[in-house]
Amino acid sequence: LVAPLTLVNRLSCVLLKCGREGSVDHHMEMGKKLLAAGQLADALSHFHAAVDGDPKNYLAYYRRATVYLAMGKSKSALPDLSRVIELKPDFTSARLQRGNLLLKQGKLDEAESDFRKVLKVHPSEKEATEAQNQLSKSDEIQRLVAEAKRSYDIQDYATATALLDTIIETCVWDVNSREMRAECFIQMGEMGKAISDLKVSSKLRNDNTHAFYQLSTIYYNLGDHEMSLNEVRECLKLDPDHKQCFSHYKQVKKLNKQIQSAEELIQEQRYEDAVSKFEAVMKTEPNVAHFTIMAKERICHQQPARAIKVCGEVLQLDPHNVNVLKDRAEAYIQNEQYEEAIRDYESASEHSENDRQIKEGLEKAQRLLKQSQKRDYYKILGVKRTAQKKEIIKAYRKLAQQWHPDNFQDPEEKKAAEKKFIDIAQAKEVLTDPEMRTKFDHGEDPMDPESQQGHHRGGGHKFHTFQGFNPFGSGPFHFKFNFN
């Protein structure tokens, strides 16, 4: 009974093996056809199946590596090429391809080893020529790497960068060269270029926590707290116990939360609370100028009463900050410092020629300066240009009582009081009438007959009732006014 069972088992094994071989051949054939047709994903599936069906089929690995390379997945291709060489050491095409990949990765010694072995096993003329050329190129790269390191060590970053540029043209996936060049860029203050190299490095090496940490710190020092937080989180995903990243994460997270809270308070129009948050930002990070400028810029914009001082502090750090120049100019206008406002708007205009807000603000400041050199009803009543009607009436009543002509006995003093009283009454009339006040704010004097001539010809206006204004009527001043 044993013999027949053994025979059956053997026959079954043979049949299964034949079945597997037939299946592998089928997958190999289908994979080749799909690869030739450019259907890479489908071809890859068939070569996967061929490798699974026969793990010692070096051609299956080689074909799969070819597909990976066509798909731009060199990391996946490299292990397959190494497996091919392990199974068939004299397969020069695979060794040559592996040498090229190793050269691109900057693994120069390993690449040279492959190129030399290709030359030893009687390759085709084409393969021999390519191997010799790549070997020469690798030798040249070795020399350039040594020179770049020497230049870097003596802090000649410009020379090191130029050498690394040449190295990276060939060794495009060389993490070490990119990170050295990134450090050169940092030392030279070219942060954008450093970021570009570090981003590539973070993708080329799966566990590159150092690149993510550097990216986070660069963004932080540039004042981009959100990008800094994103990059340091990537570092902690790779290594939750990374000391530098964890410490930096706590700092960035705290700062980010304060800035977000401040912006939310602005949206809610809780400006005093927002200012407190921005002041906290400056305490959290006093050493990075970008955050100080940002916080003071926001305080300057939200707090007109403090704008001249705070905006001035920002402009000491960032003299050409157009937004801050505009904010301070507006604060100067509210403070009736028109010449200073004009200077700020003109300075802002030099850096932003087509800004409509600057143009309108400059025209306003120039108009108000001209107006201030004439009769200023706000100054007559001693009120700000932003004063509400109640404030204006209150100021008028106080001054009218003070300067009423009945309060003066001396003829000269009474005459001066009459003029003052008329000015006070006119100021109250203009500033409590919305239409007249608007005209005055735009540079016209409703009480000046010359400036109103054009308006009268156009159908008249109630301003004419104040031409030749006399609040007393005629005769001696033996009566008191009802100051309404």
DSSP 252-312: HHHHHHHHHHHHHHHHTT-HHHHHHHHHHHHHH-SS-HHHHHHHHHHHHHH-HHHHHHHHH
Query: Distance (Å, rounded) from C-alpha 450 to C-alpha 454?
Result: 8
Query: Distance (Å, rounded) from C-alpha 11 to C-alpha 18?
Result: 11
User: What angle, rounded to 10 degrees, do the helices at 209-221 and 191-204 form?
Assistant: 160
Query: Distance (Å, rounded) from C-alpha 387 to C-alpha 423?
Result: 18
State the pLDDT at residue 277.
93
State the pLDDT at residue 272.
87
Question: Global pTM?
Answer: 0.66
**CA 330 to chain centroid:** 27
The amino acid at residue 252 is: V
Domain with CATH 1.25.40.10 in the chain: 26-143
Query: Distance (Å, rounded) from C-alpha 128 to C-alpha 76?
Result: 26
pLDDT, averaged per 10 consecutive residues of the chain (484 residues), comes to: 43 42 86 93 94 94 95 93 95 95 96 95 90 96 97 97 97 96 96 96 92 97 96 96 96 96 91 91 92 88 77 89 91 86 94 90 90 82 91 94 90 84 92 91 78 47 39 37 42
**229 and 255 Cβ atoms separated by less than 8 Å:** no
Query: Distance (Å, rounded) from C-alpha 145 to C-alpha 136?
Result: 14
Query: Distance (Å, rounded) from C-alpha 349 to C-alpha 329?
Result: 12
State the pLDDT at residue 21.
52
Query: Distance (Å, rounded) from C-alpha 44 to C-alpha 28?
Result: 10
DSSP 8-state code for residue 405:
G
State the pLDDT at residue 102.
97
DSSP 8-state code for residue 327:
H
Those residues whose C-beta lies under 8 Å from the C-beta of residue 330, and which sit 6 or more positions away, are 304, 307, 341, 361
DSSP 8-state code for residue 121:
S
Instruction: Tell me yes or no: is domain 26-143 CATH 1.10.3720.10.
Output: no
Query: Distance (Å, rounded) from C-alpha 392 to C-alpha 377?
Result: 10
**188 and 158 Cβ atoms separated by less than 8 Å:** yes
Q: What is the CA radius of gyration of the chain?
A: 41
H/E stretch holding 168? helix 157-170
**81 and 49 Cβ atoms separated by less than 8 Å:** no
Where does 3-58 show beta strands of DSSP type E?
Answer: none
Domain 376-484, what architecture? Orthogonal Bundle (1.10)
Where residue 382 falls (left for φ over 0; alpha for ψ -120 to 50; beta otherwise) is: left
Q: What angle do CA 26, 31, 37 make, to 5 degrees?
A: 130
Those residues whose C-beta lies under 8 Å from the C-beta of residue 168, and which sit 6 or more positions away, are 174, 177, 178, 181
DSSP-H helix ranges across 318-355: 322-334, 338-351
* Exposure letters 350-377 (e unless 16+ CB within 10 A, then b): eeeeebeebeebbebbbebbebeeebbb
Domain with CATH 1.10.287.110 in the chain: 376-484
H/E stretch holding 418? helix 411-432
**91 and 62 Cβ atoms separated by less than 8 Å:** yes
Query: Distance (Å, rounded) from C-alpha 403 to C-alpha 380?
Result: 12
Query: Distance (Å, rounded) from C-alpha 414 to C-alpha 406?
Result: 8
